[in-house]
Amino acid sequence: MSVPREAGRGLGPVLVVGTGLIGTSLGLALRAEGVTVTLSDPSPTACALARDLGAGALETADDPEPAVVVVAAPPDVVGAVVAARLAAHPHAVVTDVASVKSAVLGDLLAAGVDVTRYVGSHPMAGRERSGAIAGRADLFQGRPWVVVPHEHSDPAAVEAVTVLATAAGGAPVRMPAHEHDEAVAAVSHVPQVAASLVAARLRDLSTDAVGLAGQGVRDVTRIAASDPALWTQILVGNAAAVSTVLGELHTAIGEVLDALDGLREDADAEAPGARATLAAMLADGNAGHARIPGKHGSSPTMYTTVTVLIPDEPGMLARLFADVGDEGVNIEDIRMEHAVGRLVGVVDLLVRPDAADPLCAGLLARGWNLTE
């Protein structure tokens, strides 16, 4: 899949400190671009695994000085590790990949560290799986990679981190730390808290009650399966920004509660405006949802869904995709729908709008059962 690019050329040796998912994926991505990568991790086992996977060589005392050190350590030790590496590599640019940016810089400044050569960054990439074993070279491919200049940072250091992000396949976006932290509070940290808290409400339901769960609550709570230890660190690290956005959510829920209380059957009279409050809340949700970029790019990409019923028999999916291929249509996304208790094969094929009609006609002619 990897196409040689110019991106990695001119990037000196990179030392990756921390060989979890992000560090290992970075090593894999950079090595695919011809960059020299060395690896370090407090766990020799984790480090050796990343090496075995091809993410780089183990760090030794004889290594040439790295041009860039990337600290991919757990959030609560990032500041200390960055400071240590700035001291250990007096000519290197040091960056980190933590999900929160103000706290790291604040810790370094509070410790009196010279941060000229430090430029934080944050690749917006991850997986529900963790560890070196989940690493992959394409993890950052096309994903935003936030580069965070600050008032003390050397422009050359900012440029070096930008080149690194590009070499790894990311799309660099420059943003001050507070802007980054406020943005991820809204697009990542508060959604995580909301998902966890909505899921927590299901914990003590009866089996019958939780049996009524459908796709909506599944989607809302999918990330509630995330690692509590990691997320505690992230929320602690971004406490101020998360608090602001979560406070807005708290206030908004209070308004919804007031509206609902004015509408209860046992209320003396329906509160004026209560329905309007609910409708406005839902409409604001529509508006916010519409701002989320599409899967493939920076603006919403609309695909048309072609829904095919398939008999639940071996080989039917292969036959379907062979037929789709014969029609010359590219599938942009797939969703399979199952019904509880019985395998009903319903496959949604998302295709470019201009391909939908020919595909439908072709599939119908081939005997497929389409809905809608």
Q: Among residue numbers 142 through 201, which ones bind a second copy (CB under 8 A)?
A: 142-144, 146, 169, 171, 173, 175, 179-180, 182-184, 186-188, 190-201
On whether the CB atoms of residues 104 and 98 are closer than 8 A, the answer is yes
Nearest distance in Å: CB 176, a second copy: 11
Give whichever of 88 and 175 is closer to a second copy, judged by the CB atom. 175
Looking at the Cβ atoms of 88 and 278, the one nearer to a second copy is 278
Segment lying near a second copy (by CB under 8 A), choices 13-21, 42-50, 322-330, 359-367: 322-330
Backbone φ and ψ for 15, nearest 5 degrees, come out as -105, 125
CB-nearer residue toward a second copy: 320 or 360: 320
Question: At a CB cut-off of 8 Å and minimum separation 6, what does 199 contact?
Answer: 221, 224
* 320 touches a second copy by CB under 8 A: yes
- For a second copy, which residue of 63, 138, 154, 159 counts as binding (CB under 8 A)? 138
Q: Could you list the beta-strand ranges (E) of the chain.
A: 14-17, 37-40, 57-58, 68-71, 93-96, 120-123, 144-148, 171-174, 304-310, 333-339, 342-351, 369-371
Distance of closest approach, residue 159 Cβ to a second copy, in angstroms? 19
- Smallest distance, a second copy to C-beta of residue 20, A: 14
Identified binder of a second copy from the candidate list 273, 338, 358, 364, rule CB under 8 A = 338
243-302 binders of a second copy (CB under 8 A): 243, 245-250, 252-254, 256-257, 260-261, 263-266, 274-275, 278-279, 281-293, 295-298
Give the distance from CA 136 to its chain's centroid: 14
Distance of alpha carbon 143 from alpha carbon 284, whole angstroms: 27
352-371 residues in contact with a second copy (CB under 8 A) are 369, 371
* Binding positions for a second copy, 221-240, rule CB under 8 A: 221-226, 228-229, 231-232, 235-236, 239-240
How far is 234 from 97, CA to CA, in rounded Å? 12
Count of residues that interact with a second copy, criterion CB under 8 A? 144
Nearest to 177 by CA among 248, 107, 90: 107
Assign residue 243 a region: left if phi > 0, alpha if psi is -120 to 50, beta otherwise?
Answer: alpha
- In the complex with a second copy, the residue whose CB is nearer, 136 or 152, is 136
C-beta of 119 vs 347, nearer to a second copy: 347
Length reported for the chain = 372
Report the residue from 64, 315, 353, 367 that binds a second copy according to the rule CB under 8 A.
Answer: 315
Q: Which residues of 354-363 are buried (b: 16+ CB within 10 A; e: fewer)?
A: ebbeebbebb
- Establish if 23 lies at the interface with a second copy (CB under 8 A): no
Can you give 283-309 as a three-state secondary structure string?
HHHHHHHHCCCCCCCCCCCCCEEEEEE
Q: Does 322 bind a second copy (CB under 8 A)?
A: yes
Site string for a second copy, 80-119 (x = CB under 8 A): ----------------------xx--x-------------
